[in-house]
Structure 1
């Protein structure tokens, strides 16, 4: 099950602002929080922990699960050890994300704590997690979360990101990754001005598109916003991302008919045929659905007007191009009546033979999503 999450850094932000942000996110369905324990000031430890416990109480009141970045030094500072996580339990922490380790036996002890605290390991590198499992680690209390990267050009390579996620899924481990707000003057554990994504090519993209790319890979469970605060518009946009189907935004072609709009936007879900073509994605069921919809509408009008109604029609419309290119969204027209209403998305160039109308073009920054739509996979087209 997918979850959406935010990051907050309560030691760097006025409490009222943080709580307002939590309330906004909770109302939109966010259910995870990432925060950082790595900057606990030793001379203010008691005050810091009291305030953090108040923050945890508020987060739990709103239904959030909270993960905090820690390391062995933090354990020492708050009096915890691999075989004694009670100080974290007393704070109410749900997930301990390890930035560092205690060796094989120490990390195994962490995963077998009696408090039900999950231990989150770094998904962006191989930290010997499979060895921990094989040597007695409790997989039920293990989870994976990627790094985020504040410096431009240092985020993960997308292919490597997918390779690691495939590996974690082979081990049946839950995964999380970060997207980044493009809001101005955001912060992380430190001042951040270039965002906090996991994958470098996602930096600067609209936040919902970042999430749609990560989800399209099929191996990412939870999506977390790395920097604070995301704008209200970004929180809402991310909350509306379809977690069950790949969504692609398009630019409509001029002059498309209501029938074509109905097929493109109202039919759901589109899915590529199992007998996949390398030239195009084919969503064939809309042609059946369209015929049925038109029959129902025609019958209704006939009853009301007592007139003969013409059969459904999608007349040919000249798109002004001889060749359709990758990302063109097509609908079969009257010139190939048997397939009339089928929606197709071009993967590689095909000639315009007059049998298909151009109804839209996938936005250039979204074209890579086509690589993830496999035979049978659901997808949706957005205006």
Structure 2
């Protein structure tokens, strides 16, 4: 399943011209979906229609897929029947995210709506919600999953719970989404906004690291910025994230030589299948560069978790093998050539047997 990046808009409290500029910037950078909250609208059906259709229409012109976040109360506020989604189709939406569950039978029935709107389920509950819907035989290609975001500091999901919730959807082949937090964004659906991540550990991390982590779990297909407006730098950083393998940002050692630089940056790295706890080994490169000299340097101190080392001329057949240190050790037969940035050390847990990875 192809992976995507997206953003969030809040038409009930945002400025249309700012929304336009934001969409244009993101569209040029490869963003392709929009999450749009309708949870805080008033009861003027026509005013709501004008406001949302204007923004949705412009997003659609730029090629975005648009999902509206709704709850059962929205139907009452707008005088809309659960059995007729025409209003949302006429707005131009592609799908509806159900912030609050119905009775499972209703979700299954909604997925057969004649307008082709996908139905996006709330993923942030570790219960058999999806299983129950599937027993009612929904239109499976039109069932998506999307986690919540959490405006209050300290209330977002812990990692183990997030994984358990997400696995319920991923094992069924359902498209999944989760939110990352912009450090610049101040706009969200509520008056409290300490950021809008799905995972609490992401709240203060750089936006690209958050996205790398979500993609590295292999449980999330779409990464969406929860708050608006992300800075230009954040938009670009997120657009440059490798969505299909971990691409570590590293600090290069001052003493690195040409062969080590080539090994680092000019190769597809693969963790050896028969793994070790001490380090992640990329062994194919030692064969490619077996005839290149590599004198010892930066090899006297202790190597610690996240250090990147390459075998030097003292290492015999293991010369020019690349390793990422997992457990602290010393070995003069290895040169330290760089270090993974501290914020990305959590990504090491996702380099499994035969995992592919890169450096930049």
Question: Which of residues 338, 354, 358 in structure 2 aligns to 1:376?
Answer: 354
Q: Write the deviation string for residues 292-318 of structure 1: whole angstroms up to 9, x where unpaired.
A: xxxxxxxxxxxxxxxxxxx52100114
Distance 1:259 1:192 in 2: 52
Distance 1:132 1:98 in 2: 13
Equivalent in the alignment of 2:81? 81
Superposition RMSD on alpha carbons, in Å?
1.5
- Give 1:127 shift: 6.1
In the TM superposition, what are the counterparts of 1:1-383 in structure 2 within 5 Å? 1-42=2-43, 44-125=44-125, 126=127, 128-183=129-184, 186-267=186-267, 269-291=268-290, 312-321=292-301, 323-352=302-331, 354-382=332-360
Aligned residue pair count? 358
- Give 1:182 shift: 0.3
Q: Contact 2:179–2:196 at 8 Å: present in 1 too?
A: yes
- Give 1:149 shift: 0.5
Q: Contact 1:181–1:230 at 8 Å: present in 2 too?
A: yes
Structure 1 residues 163 and 278: alpha-carbon distance in aligned structure 2, compared to 1, 3 A threshold: same
Q: Which has the larger radius of gyration?
A: 1
User: Structure 2: where are the runs of 5+ without partners?
Assistant: none
Distance 1:101 1:114 in 2: 21
Distance 1:180 1:274 in 2: 35
User: Structure 1: where are the runs of 5+ without partners?
Assistant: 292-310
Distance 1:93 1:349 in 2: 53
Q: Contact 2:130–2:169 at 8 Å: present in 1 too?
A: no
- Give 1:328 shift: 1.4
Q: Contact 2:156–2:197 at 8 Å: present in 1 too?
A: yes
Q: Contact 2:120–2:143 at 8 Å: present in 1 too?
A: yes
Distance 1:363 1:53 in 2: 43
Q: Write the deviation string for residues 340-381 of structure 1: whole angstroms up to 9, x where unpaired.
A: 2111011112331x2111111222222111111001111112
Distance 1:160 1:154 in 2: 13
Distance 1:264 1:51 in 2: 51
Q: Contact 1:214–1:220 at 8 Å: present in 2 too?
A: yes
Greater Cα shift, 84-93 or 221-230: 84-93
Distance 1:378 1:192 in 2: 40
Structure 1 residues 121 and 286: alpha-carbon distance in aligned structure 2, compared to 1, 3 A threshold: same
Equivalent in the alignment of 1:296? none
Q: Which of the two has greater helix per residue?
A: 1
> What is the TM-score with the length of structure 1 in the denominator?
0.90
- Give 1:261 shift: 1.4
Report the 3-state secondary structure (helix = DSSP H, G, I; strand = E; otherwise coil) of the residue aligned with 1:274: coil
Distance 1:179 1:318 in 2: 37
Q: Write the deviation string for residues 244-297 of structure 1: whole angstroms up to 9, x where unpaired.
A: 211222222231112111111222x21101121121111112223335xxxxxx
Q: Contact 2:111–2:143 at 8 Å: present in 1 too?
A: yes
- Give 1:62 shift: 0.3
Distance 2:248 2:333 in 1: 24
- Give 1:118 shift: 0.6
Q: Contact 1:183–1:229 at 8 Å: present in 2 too?
A: yes
Distance 1:346 1:102 in 2: 49
- Give 1:17 shift: 0.9
- Give 1:230 shift: 0.0
Moved over 4 A (4+): none
Distance 1:8 1:350 in 2: 49
- Give 1:76 shift: 2.4
Q: Contact 1:282–1:342 at 8 Å: present in 2 too?
A: yes
- Give 1:80 shift: 2.9
Report the 3-state secondary structure (helix = DSSP H, G, I; strand = E; otherwise coil) of the residue aligned with 1:251: strand
Distance 1:189 1:199 in 2: 18
> What is the TM-score with the length of structure 2 in the denominator?
0.95
Distance 1:221 1:71 in 2: 23
